[in-house]
Amino acid sequence: MTLVLGIESSCDETAAAVVSGDGRVRSDVVRSQIELHAPFGGVVPELAARDHLRVIVPVVSEALSRAGVALADVDAIAVTQRPGLVGALLVGVQAAKGLAWAAEKPLIAVDHLVGHLLSVFLRRDGDPAPEEVGLGFPFIGLLVSGGHSAIYRCDGPAAAQIRELGATRDDAVGEAFDKIAKLLGLGYPGGPVIDRLAPTGIAERATVSLGVPMAANKSSLEFSFSGLKSAIARHVLGASGPHTDAEIADICAAFQKIATKTLVTKTILAASMENVSRVVITGGVACNRELRERMGVSCRERGYDLFVPPFKSCTDNAAMIAYAGTVKLAAGDVSGFDLAPVTRTELARVTRKGRGIR
């Protein structure tokens, strides 16, 4: 069975994993930088790169040790080449190149977004094979995280088989969660905190008025979350509040309700338009409980099959990079040692940033 070592360092997690060709996760080590960046309310690129450089070797060593293999036992080294913070990516790419050269193994470049979309095929803790639960291509993939929010039609595992149907015109939804949490004084990262507080609040009681983004264009698959952030910023900075924990919880409930409803409505619309009955949610925001629940209800009502990876496969990890590497290795798609980091995804974009008529 093919074994691939994956390395991920695109943002603020240093990760390494060993995964087999059938998607079984042999090891998955993730070293988070949350405590490092929390005082700044967001990721500081230079600090992220320095921390990756400090821990990349022990993280890779631990991944190999947990998998019970040596570097010589793996068949290839896969690494996130794009998209991400260039300094952070550079650490992972250079480490992968060094390991591949020293061990005389193929080097495989992986697009971080492709890794997320394929993370649903990872098998952990006795998970059944994808075909046993009806998972396969094509599927509609909603990828939502701190840096990305887009809907894709996935007809296969290769980048050329993945087509963007709609993406955010401004903020990613995860970025909106973090910025709104910061405005409300809830700390960083904001997504988990808002997800925890929202069920304790009442959206209809919120002291801020939040409109549905892009409500006038019901056929659009594009997103916009900056307006929600701006409305809450004006409210928080104004004289009206919020002044109590209950008011903050109500605002969390109102924002999360609109954000998740928007994501679900457009994803279901995409599945209908593309006549595809499989739906996948992935990315860090896929850990949001209200999003999972709303999408589950909507899919059941329409007879769609919903697939959501476990939490550890949704957030940034190297197992998804290693699995994407096994797919590319099987196709003979390997890279040379001139590999360099790239800040943009290789997936073709159709959504233009900014306002205006399309």
Average pLDDT over residues 136-150: 96
Alpha helices by DSSP H, 160-278: 173-183, 190-197, 226-237, 245-274
Please give the pLDDT value at position 354: 64
Domain 3-124+316-330 architecture:
2-Layer Sandwich (3.30)
Query: Quick one: angle between helices 173-183 and 190-197, nearest 10?
Result: 70
pTM over 0.75: yes
130-309 has the same fold as 3-124+316-330: yes
DSSP letter, residue 223: B
Average pLDDT over residues 245-263: 96
Structure tokens at 201: 């609040």
157-210, pLDDT tens digit by residue? Answer: 999 999 999 999 999 999 999 999 999 999 989 999 999 999 999 999 998 889
In this structure, whether the domain defined by 130-309 belongs to CATH 3.40.640.10 is answered with no
Structure tokens at 330: 């099987």
DSSP letter, residue 303: T
Average pLDDT over residues 63-71: 98
**pLDDT band at 355, cuts 50/70/90?**
low
- Cα distances from 187 to residues 17, 37, 145, 217, in angstroms, run 30, 11, 17, 34
> Per-domain residue ranges for the chain?
3-124+316-330, 130-309
Please give the pLDDT value at position 41: 86
Prior bond to 242 cis, omega within 30?
A: yes
275-314, pLDDT tens digit by residue? Answer: 999 999 999 999 999 999 999 999 999 999 999 999 999 9
Please give the pLDDT value at position 15: 98
Contacts of 315 (CB under 8 A, 6+ apart): 13, 30, 284, 287
**Residue written as token pair 């980091």:** 341
In three-state secondary structure terms, 154 is: strand
